[in-house]
Structure 1
Amino acid sequence: MSDPLKTWTAQEERTSLNSTGRPLTLAGLLESLGAPLLTPLTGSRGLAASISVPVIHDPLDPLPETPGGILLLVGMAPNHEALNDLIARAAEHGFGAVVVKNRGKAPDAAHLAHAALPVLVVDDQVPWLHLDNLITAVTSGRPAGSNAANSHGEDLFVLANALATATDGAVAIEDLDQNILAYSNLERHTVDPLRRSGILARQVPQMDKNADQYRSVMLTDSVVHFPYDPDDGELPRCAAPVRAGRQMLGSIWVIEDKATLGPDGEAAILEVARLAAIHILRSQNAVDLERQVRTEWLRSALEGHGSDPATSARFGLMEGVSPVLLGFKFAPLPAGKAPGSAFPLTRQLALAAEQYCSIFHPNVSAVESGTMVYVLVPAIGSEQAAMRLAGGASGAVAARLGCQVDVAVSSVEGSLLGLVELRRELEDVVRVLESPGPHRGAGRVVGTKEVNAALLLDQLERVLRSRPRLVHPGVRELLENDAASGTEYQSSLCAYFAATGDVALAARTLNVHPNTLRYRIKRATELFGLDFSTGDEQLALWVQLRVATGRTA
């Protein structure tokens, strides 16, 4: 590495190691985690304050001194009479915000109007430890993931600070999607609003000039300089590509607020780009390998293969705690509408669904299978919680990908041995969703309870098709007669059974005179030997007539 990089001090090295990301503001945390997770109850007041680390707190324990801390108040609802006093004490101990759960009750805004700190509410379904992990990942300046991936992320922050020392300018390291992987945090360097916004969002702001700038960087092997832009106040900066051989991995950007970098500074950028490529590749490989292992393991488990104890350990399945399986599938496009050139792939659907569900539950895994994406949530509290999660995921994924998504929800029951059965349940629900009928729609979230009758009829249809001898001979003759002669015995009898024997109601449904319907029913019994004398006979005949031709009525 060039000499300028060796001049960084031991103190700066400790700073970059101990604070891999510059402390965020509370607004930056909310933007990073997203609205579905945390919602401010006290408006915009205090959102500009810096934050440090989350602290899970029991109100019976003494408060620690935690400057900028985020106090996670376990067991205290927003309307608790002692909440304001506890918030005041938290402010005295240096905390920057508090987080509570609604516990099923609407918060009283007036009760919190004079709170000493911003109050955030988290969804009741999010475990406190999971929220603690998510906030820690954001405030530490790196994404949640494996230990290996995090260690490589720390190395990138070290490199960013080292390069910032050598070039005397603020540094950012980005991936190909313009996500900011690491950045320097030396206070003496000037930054512009664009840089500040990008750091808070961990994403480069979208601007018309981005495409041209990144194209210039990606097409070169050297350093590209960009002048000051008076239109948006962007300071002059330079950039170099990060490559591993021919594989493009990202870019490095340095603000040149004092002077244009010379040959030594450019050499330092290119050397750091070479080192950054190694860390990015290792980090990507660690994350991708873990995701690939979980994906293939889940695929195997859904097909009934693998060791049950090992699979339970891998996904956090526990005896007596119910998992739920969600099935995501792109909803059919309206008739005559073709998908655009940017129509998302199933892989994008899998990533979006997994990321959303991971906000609320740990150890979530996803796997693609044909046009379906299966998401396993190892532990869920109830069927209602599963439907809420699926509903939120449907809306969030549709907004992110720009197209409607159907979500099938399995029964909230079973154990590891039931995963295969849960997959089959979802396949049955999806088959019902894709069939003609009142349940058909775009962007539906459907569990087995909502389509129980259709699922049962679907299974009976399969049984009758595989065992045709179970079909009453008279039903076969009736259907053949309808097909050959154009009679309407099947629809007439189905309407009669659906109306529970009310001839007038059934006749109105068919738009015929009641006497016409009575004549058809009488002729059906005479011609085909059908018996309506008992409830069992009526039920059996109705089911056979409903399912024999695809459940038409």
Structure 2
Amino acid sequence: MDPSEELSRHGDATPAPIALSAWTDLVQEDLLHANPTAENLRRPVADVQLYDALDDQANVRNAVVLAMGVSCGSVGFERVLVHAADGEAAAVIVKARGTPIEDLRAASSRHDVPVLVVGDDADWTRLIAMARTAVAGAAVDSVSGVRLGDLFAFANAVASIANGAASIVDPSGRILGYSTVPGQPIDDLRRETTLTLQERTPPALDADFKVVYASTDALFVQSPSGIRDRLALAVRAGGELLGSIWIIDPGGERRQPALDALDRLAPLAGLHMLHARSASDFTERRNADLMRTLMDDPAQASFAAAQLGLEFTDGFAIAAFALTHPNTGSLDAMREQHRLLQLVTVTCNVQFRSAYSALIDSVVYALLPCAGESPRAAHRRVIRDIGSYATTISAHPVVAAVGGIAEQIGELPRSRTEAVRTLQYLMHQQSVSRENPTLHPPAAAVFEDYWTELNLLEIGTYIAEKHLGRFDVIDAIRAYDAAHHTDFLITLRAYFDSNASVSTAADRMHVHGNTIRYRITRLAEEFGIDFDNPSTRLWLWLRLVSTDL
């Protein structure tokens, strides 16, 4: 039977639920069955759901329920199992976190529901995407002999089914796999991209890629003269764009069957790409460890630079990026942080033709090269571009900061500290602006833009740590204002900020000049402030400004 006919035969049928044992094979995660009876392994799986403790009415029939944030052995865990058993769920997935397997087996037997255990360090975001895509991909079995995650073998299978040479591309334009089926025609573009393993133009800047990404179906893409037309499909899992498949158009009567085949292959393509990406997770974690070593451990920094292939000739600057997400530990936030990492990597590749980036503790870090006559202009441009592109990955703005230039490898920790300090300052300003919509603070900056404010904050931190403010009157004035609903502290700050000009301070506070004079007189009398002493004025201004930024 022709492969395309085989695929069509399976695609026309209504997908039946997959057995739990077959589903776990497709997921290929380290899932341990607490009670792997024959009956449990045959349970049908048709959906994957996150457990919601506030929604006991959710339909979980034939669904794998992910008990995220539930402690085994707790009342909450028992509630999950009761809900799953009553709703005829396929299974419940938990993190054991030290709970003996015997206890989990007993709980599984007691409630007559399969319990699967995932490792304590498992990434829920990746597991959910993999689990849901496994359900969808199970219905397409015409290329089931291809090992999951082997994108070169999968490209060969797709090329055979669609009758055209296939390439699989990630969102950054990197070629993840391509077909080598004999006799299928190719062109110069295909030849070049398979040699370089990179598209000529990054997808973010290519009109054809944008059209394909905007569609949920496979498309015919007309190419310029000298280049063969293409068929293309955007590959997604759980709403996340994983990349795309491009087929050299077989033409004629073969075109529409090839487009139909691509559409039916979409779930399986997502499953393969998710597995391929999980295989690359080790590289991502390794890069994060090496980046952390570069920024935190000067003794081992040279080794880390060598492992990354980093040539420290013109210097680098550390850039830090973070989403203003209200809950950085949530599932949505984690997914968006990984998308931000991908965006930073892609943009740095476009700007600098190289990318050294990693996601560490909810912050994406990148090493920005300092080549050329205006490295800071390039740094400003790249963080501005990333901020403008960020609307495609999150509803929450991205804040970006770049530390000072590190001319030697040992200066990278200093650059990282400056980047983080600047990032935290900008994040604080964003938070203040949400309470006061009239403010419009920038979301991206280099360290030099705010070095004065940042250094004043350092002074404030030093004062607080050393308890140096216990001898002055700032806390006493603050307490008086709170008790009597007065504005002496605000007046004092406005007066100092105005270089002791009563009229300027009055304009700042929108009051009459006599009001400022009266309050300054009261401050001198009630709190013993000697406004004629320059040291006193300097100290009190430092105290005010270093705690109010």
TM-score using structure 2 length: 0.51
Name 2:427's counterpart in structure 1.
Answer: 434
Q: Distance in 2 between matches of 1:498 and 1:307?
A: 46
Secondary structure in 1 aligned to 2:399? strand
Name 2:388's counterpart in structure 1.
Answer: 395
Match of 2:367 among 361, 364, 376: 376
Name 1:236's counterpart in structure 2.
Answer: 257
Q: Give how far 1:451 is off.
A: 2.1
Relative to its length, the structure with more helix (as a share) is: 2
Secondary structure in 2 aligned to 1:406? strand
| Corresponding letter in the other structure for 2:458 | Q
Contact 2:290/2:308, CA 8 A, preserved across alignment: no
Contact 1:353/1:397, CA 8 A, preserved across alignment: no
Q: Distance in 2 between matches of 1:202 and 1:493?
A: 58
Secondary structure in 2 aligned to 1:512? coil
Q: Give how far 1:295 is off.
A: 2.0
With over 3 angstroms needed to count, the CA separation of the structure-2 counterparts of 1:422 and 1:538, relative to structure 1, is same
Name 1:523's counterpart in structure 2.
Answer: 522
Q: Distance in 1 between matches of 2:428 and 2:413?
A: 23
Q: Distance in 1 between matches of 2:302 and 2:537?
A: 48
Name 2:147's counterpart in structure 1.
Answer: none
Q: Give how far 1:318 is off.
A: 5.2
Q: How does 1:19-168 map to 2 (within 5 A)?
A: 159=156
Match of 2:412 among 419, 443, 459: 419
| Corresponding letter in the other structure for 1:465 | A
Q: Deviations over 1:439-468 (max 9, x none)?
A: 975772112222223212321221122122
Q: Give how far 1:494 is off.
A: 1.1
Q: Distance in 2 between matches of 1:332 and 1:544?
A: 31
Name 1:539's counterpart in structure 2.
Answer: 538
Q: Give how far 1:508 is off.
A: 2.2
With over 3 angstroms needed to count, the CA separation of the structure-2 counterparts of 1:533 and 1:449, relative to structure 1, is same
Q: Give how far 1:289 is off.
A: 4.2
Name 1:407's counterpart in structure 2.
Answer: 400
Contact 1:350/1:368, CA 8 A, preserved across alignment: yes
User: Is 2:337 the partner of 1:346?
Assistant: yes
Contact 2:370/2:405, CA 8 A, preserved across alignment: no
Gaps of 5+ in 1: 3-151, 192-198, 219-227, 252-279, 334-338
Contact 1:407/1:444, CA 8 A, preserved across alignment: yes
Q: Distance in 2 between matches of 1:320 and 1:214?
A: 42
Q: How does 1:258-407 map to 2 (within 5 A)?
A: 285=279, 288-304=281-297, 307-315=300-308, 317=310, 321-331=314-324, 344-381=335-372, 382-399=375-392, 401=394, 403-407=396-400
Q: Distance in 1 between matches of 2:363 and 2:184?
A: 51
Q: Deviations over 1:444-503 (max 9, x none)?
A: 211222222321232122112212234542333333322333332211111111111211
**Number of residue pairs aligned between Structure 1 and Structure 2:** 341
With over 3 angstroms needed to count, the CA separation of the structure-2 counterparts of 1:321 and 1:536, relative to structure 1, is farther
Q: Give how far 1:383 is off.
A: 2.0
Contact 2:370/2:376, CA 8 A, preserved across alignment: no
Q: Give how far 1:297 is off.
A: 0.8
Q: Distance in 1 between matches of 2:271 and 2:177?
A: 15
Q: Distance in 2 between matches of 1:233 and 1:343?
A: 42
Q: Give how far 1:422 is off.
A: 2.1
Q: Distance in 2 between matches of 1:306 and 1:398?
A: 39
Name 1:172's counterpart in structure 2.
Answer: 166
TM-score using structure 1 length: 0.51
Query: % of aligned pairs identical?
Result: 17
Q: Distance in 1 between matches of 2:151 and 2:332?
A: 34
Name 1:81's counterpart in structure 2.
Answer: none
Q: Deviations over 1:484-530 (max 9, x none)?
A: 33332211111111111211121122222212211221221222222
Q: Deviations over 1:206-247 (max 9, x none)?
A: 545459x999xx9xxxxxxxxx9x9x9943235796999x99
Name 1:181's counterpart in structure 2.
Answer: 177
Name 2:447's counterpart in structure 1.
Answer: 448
Secondary structure in 2 aligned to 1:527? helix
With over 3 angstroms needed to count, the CA separation of the structure-2 counterparts of 1:508 and 1:377, relative to structure 1, is closer
| Corresponding letter in the other structure for 2:481 | D
With over 3 angstroms needed to count, the CA separation of the structure-2 counterparts of 1:189 and 1:426, relative to structure 1, is closer
Secondary structure in 2 aligned to 1:377? strand
Contact 1:171/1:184, CA 8 A, preserved across alignment: yes
Q: Give how far 1:175 is off.
A: 7.6
Q: Distance in 2 between matches of 1:486 and 1:292?
A: 54
Q: Distance in 2 between matches of 1:298 and 1:304?
A: 10
Name 1:33's counterpart in structure 2.
Answer: none
Q: Distance in 1 between matches of 2:309 and 2:152?
A: 28
Q: Give how far 1:408 is off.
A: 1.0
Name 1:36's counterpart in structure 2.
Answer: none
